[in-house]
Amino acid sequence: MRCGDFKENYIDDEEIFPSPFTKFWLALFLIFLIAFPFMANAHLLYIANMIGFAVIGAVGLNLLTGFTGQISLGHAAFIGVGAYTSAILVTRYGISFWLSIPLSGLVSALAGMVIGIPSLRVKGLYLCIATLAAQFIFGFTFVHWESMTKGITGIHIPPPAVGSFQFDTEKSFYWITLLFVILGVGYARNLVRSKMGRAFVAIRDRDLAAEIMGINLFRYKLSAFAISSFYAGVAGALWVSFLKVVTPEHFPFILCIQYLAMVIVGGLGSVIGSIFGAVFMTLIPEILNVLSDMVKSYAPGMAKMIIPFKQVVFGSMIVGFLIFEPRGLAEIWSRIKKFFTLWPFSY
């Protein structure tokens, strides 16, 4: 009898989901995702959509920062470029939502490549500052290019539709979000185990040796920026289509930091880590909201204190993660998996 998970050919050994066991749990999770909208209320579905957009954005940022090692503080700007592109294409040029999504991804990728040009010369903190410029340049453009973006009044976007069916509720939009999340995560997971993904990690770990292997640093760094920004653009376009409005206030600098925090808390250089990070960063504030409402109902006098206290708890949780689990939620996940591979007969 086989006791353990043994591989008999290379195809099995290179699988993403290596055992029937993982496939079973994945299928169960998919069934849960499909059943979810029929069980949840509108607020929960709203959060689920938000998590979806965050997952797409975070996977994109992780490809750039976690895998390729190029820190970017311009992610919110790329999300904004995608969002505005989609909004303008749909409202002004009458292009369908479905076509506007890949187009906004492409425009965003182009913006990302331009901002990524300094990455050949500068690394680390210096690159941080160079990408920070993107945030301010695009932020300024969103506000002041009024003929296109309508400035601070923003653009109202009609909901996406197929025939006469409109995706205008949390529940119907959930399916669009789910589709793009699955596509985005699947693509990223495959990319990182093929030629290009390996080149990304090589650049992060040792760019000198990467060059000896024949990796054109400039080309691959720009590709990383392009792919990452493509994700950001798609996330932004979906997000504002869901909200049905886009204004410059949607893309503040703090959004970049939030995405970086997702990637770091989740686990740098891990696709599943970005998902954990996105869920964590979206869900925890909501849970804290619920908890603080409960406390408020018990002790109404403390209401004033509780609102700022939420931020303190959230902040300390992030710091706690960095101290106790610097490699992120993905590391906890892999420990759990390791524990169960031999359970209950581990020795």
Partner 1 sequence: MTQPVAEEIQLQVEEIHLSFGGLKVLAGVSTSVKKGEIFSIIGPNGAGKTSLLNCINRFYTPDRGKIIFEGQNILKLKPHQLAALGIARTFQNVELFKHMTVVDNIKLGHHVHLRSGFLSGGIYYGKTRREEMALRKEIEERIVDFLEIEQIRKSVVHTLPFGLQKRVELARALAMKPKILLLDEPATGMNLEETEDIARFILDINEEWGVTIILIEHDMGVVMDISDRVCVLDFGVKIAEGEPAEVRQNEQVIKAYLGQVDLTYSRLGA
Residues that bind partner 1 (CB under 8 A): 10-11, 13-14, 187-188, 190-191, 193-199, 201-202, 204-206, 208-217, 223, 227, 269
Longest dimension (CA), the chain: 72
Tracing tokens 């090692």 back to the chain, one arrives at 69
Nearer to partner 1, 211 or 293 (CB): 211
**What is the torsional sign of CA 211, 214, 219, 223?**
negative
In the bound complex, what is the minimum distance in angstroms from residue 83's beta carbon to partner 1? 23
Rank residues 12 and 146 by Cβ distance to partner 1 and give the closer one. Answer: 12
Give the residue with the Cβ less far from partner 1, 4 or 300.
4
Nearer to partner 1, 230 or 276 (CB): 230
Q: Compute the least distance from the CB of residue 230 to partner 1, in Å.
A: 10
Nearer to partner 1, 103 or 133 (CB): 103
Phi-psi map region of 5: left, alpha, beta (phi>0 left; psi -120 to 50 alpha) = beta
CA distances (Å), 171 to each of 84, 96, 202, 309, in order?
24, 21, 42, 32
- Tell me how far, at minimum, the Cβ of 32 lies from partner 1, in Å: 25
| CA–CA gap between residue 138 and residue 74 (Å, rounded) | 9
Report, in Å, the least distance between residue 13 CB and partner 1. 7
Q: How far is the CB of 195 from partner 1 (least distance, A)?
A: 4
End-to-end CA distance of the chain: 19
Residue 172, Cβ density class (10 Å: 0-12 exposed, 13-18 middle, ≥19 buried): middle
Do 103 and 260 contact (CB within 8 A), yes or no?
Answer: no
Q: Cα(341)–Cα(338) distance, rounded to whole angstroms?
A: 5
3-state secondary structure of 95: coil
The smaller minimum CB distance to partner 1, of residues 50 and 59, is found at: 59
Least distance (Å) between residue 238 CB and partner 1: 19
- The CB-of-112 to partner 1 minimum distance in angstroms stands at 14
**Three-state DSSP class for 246?**
strand
Find the shortest distance in angstroms from Cβ 269 to partner 1: 7
Q: How far, CA to CA in Å, does 162 sit from each of 97, 103, 153, 166, 230? A: 10, 18, 28, 7, 24
Q: Report the residue number, 46 or 230, with the smaller CB distance to partner 1.
A: 230
Complex with partner 1: residue 122 or 196, whichever CB lies closer: 196
Which residue, chain included where needed, has tokens 């710091």? Answer: 319
Q: Tell me if the bond preceding 118 is cis, omega within 30° of 0.
A: no
* Dist. CA 45–CA 323, nearest whole Å: 33
Q: Which is closer to partner 1, CB of 155 or CB of 188?
A: 188
| Distant-in-sequence, close-in-space partners of 304: CB < 8 Å, separation ≥ 6 | none
Task: Give min distance, CB of 191 to partner 1, in A.
Answer: 4
Which candidate, 113, 60, 129, 72, places its Cα nearest to that of 220? Answer: 113
